[in-house]
């Protein structure tokens, strides 16, 4: 009976420690759940997984976007910007987690390339349309009313301001087939982020809002990423962003992907790294346990306690014989 109670006590203790850890992460990140498992290769920078980039099976801690501002790639590479040189997960700028067009599809974890905001606006007509500019029904106008027609745009954190369309040459953002990322004659549908995966082969210059690159033609990739209803993903509104990618725990999310339809996304070297990491972790625990046991048993206090215990047992034995 005592053994069964011991097991129950150990289980409750383990559950309590997990609850404390989870609660601590929620308080630290401001996000619930405080972590996500990466399910695709869209953020991989190499053919093999590596620490520092976002790979399938990585666990990413997520910081609530309300806790701090998102720093975009454009802000991080702008000369003289206060964010110049800022980088996360192997490239300039933050990586965000967002819902495609604010829907309920699986969230996307991609890098925020730039943020476009309204500069000059006019009021919406009584019939709910715009004589000129882009209708943004959620934009708060200067008079406090909701909804406005956007005539000109700013790219936050850069020198681009009060333009009717966005044109940028991001020469530092390299692409295998295009050279570097070019934003050409982009008129956004509303304020929001331009986003892309870091994988230079499958994403890179193929930004989620591909029409921003001035691409013409047709086909499934013409508009870039699509939502659950097949609609092209537009500029990511701030309220569609559920979090900012923080530190990574590499490979340990592979266990979840192994039982899902995305198991093929995990590279073979990631499995090897996971097994090595588990072996090193278990080996380290065994070494620490052995070392602690040796240090305790070799201490004078332990020897004295052992001798006292032996002496007491002998005394008790003698008393029983009398």
Per-residue pLDDT reduced to its tens digit, 90-142: 899 999 999 999 999 889 999 999 999 999 998 888 888 888 899 998 888 77
User: Rounded to the nearest 5°, which phi and psi values hold at 20?
Assistant: -65, -40
Q: Judge if 35 and 85 occupy the same domain.
A: yes
| Domain enclosing residue 22, as ranges | 1-30
Choosing from 241, 265, 289, the residue where a domain stops is 265
Q: Judge if 24 and 41 occupy the same domain.
A: no
Q: Give the pLDDT of residue 177.
A: 63
What average pLDDT does this structure show over 28-51? 79
Given a cut of 90, whether residue 205 has pLDDT beyond it is no
State the Cα–Cα distance between residues 170 and 111, nearest whole angstrom: 14
- The domain tally of the chain equals 2
Q: Judge if 55 and 14 occupy the same domain.
A: no
For residues 165-204, one letter each, b for 16 or more C-beta atoms within 10 angstroms of the residue's C-beta and e for the rest, the string is ebebebeebebeeeeebbbeebebebbbbbbbbbbbeebb
Neighbours of 284 (CB within 10 A): 10
Pairing of strands 166-175, 153-155: unpaired
Pairing of strands 35-37, 108-118: unpaired
Q: Judge if 23 and 123 occupy the same domain.
A: no
Q: Judge if 52 and 18 occupy the same domain.
A: no
What average pLDDT does this structure show over 42-66? 86
Task: Establish if 294 belongs to a structural domain.
Answer: no
Task: Establish if 273 belongs to a structural domain.
Answer: no
State the Cα–Cα distance between residues 83 and 67, nearest whole angstrom: 17
Q: What are the tokens at 57?
A: 């099976």
Cis amide prior to 33 (ω within 30 degrees):
yes
Q: Judge if 35 and 175 occupy the same domain.
A: yes
State the Cα–Cα distance between residues 196 and 241, nearest whole angstrom: 14
How long, in residues, is the chain? 322
Q: Give the pLDDT of residue 221.
A: 47
Q: Judge if 38 and 107 occupy the same domain.
A: yes
Given a cut of 80, whether residue 311 has pLDDT beyond it is no
What digits encode the pLDDT tens for the residues 256-307? 887 777 777 888 888 888 888 888 888 887 888 778 777 776 766 655 565 5
Residue 181, classed as helix, strand or coil, is strand
Q: Give the pLDDT of residue 140.
A: 80
């Amino acid at each position: 009976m005592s053994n069964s109670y011991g097991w129950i006590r150990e289980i409750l203790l383990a559950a309590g420690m997990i609850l404390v850890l989870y609660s601590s992460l929620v308080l630290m990140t401001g996000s619930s759940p405080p972590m996500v498992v990466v399910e695709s290769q869209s953020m991989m920078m190499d053919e093999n997984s590596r620490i520092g980039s976002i790979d399938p099976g990585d666990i990413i801690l997520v910081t609530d976007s309300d806790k701090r501002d998102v720093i975009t790639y454009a802000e991080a590479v702008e000369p003289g910007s206060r964010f110049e040189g800022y980088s996360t997960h192997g490239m300039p700028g933050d990586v965000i987690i967002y819902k495609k067009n604010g829907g309920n599809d699986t969230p996307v974890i991609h890098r925020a390339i730039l943020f476009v905001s309204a500069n000059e606006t006019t009021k919406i007509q009584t019939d709910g349309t715009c004589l000129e500019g882009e209708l943004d029904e959620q934009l708060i106008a200067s008079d406090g009313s909701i909804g406005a027609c956007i005539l000109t745009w700013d790219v936050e954190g850069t020198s681009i301001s009060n333009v009717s369309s966005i044109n940028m040459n991001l020469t530092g953002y390299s692409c295998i087939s295009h050279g570097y990322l070019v934003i050409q004659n982009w008129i956004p549908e509303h304020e929001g982020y331009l986003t892309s995966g870091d994988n230079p082969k499958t994403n890179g210059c193929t930004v989620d809002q591909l029409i921003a690159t001035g691409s013409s033609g047709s086909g499934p990739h013409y508009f870039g990423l699509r939502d659950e209803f097949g609609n092209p993903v537009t500029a990511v509104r701030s309220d569609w962003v559920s979090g900012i990618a923080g530190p990574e725990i590499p490979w340990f999310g592979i266990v979840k992907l192994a039982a899902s339809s995305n198991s093929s996304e995990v590279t073979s070297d990631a499995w090897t790294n996971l097994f090595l990491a588990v072996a090193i972790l278990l080996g380290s625990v065994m070494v620490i346990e052995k070392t602690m046991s040796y240090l305790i048993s070799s201490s004078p206090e332990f020897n004295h306690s052992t001798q006292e215990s032996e002496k007491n047992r002998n005394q008790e034995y003698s008393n029983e014989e009398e």
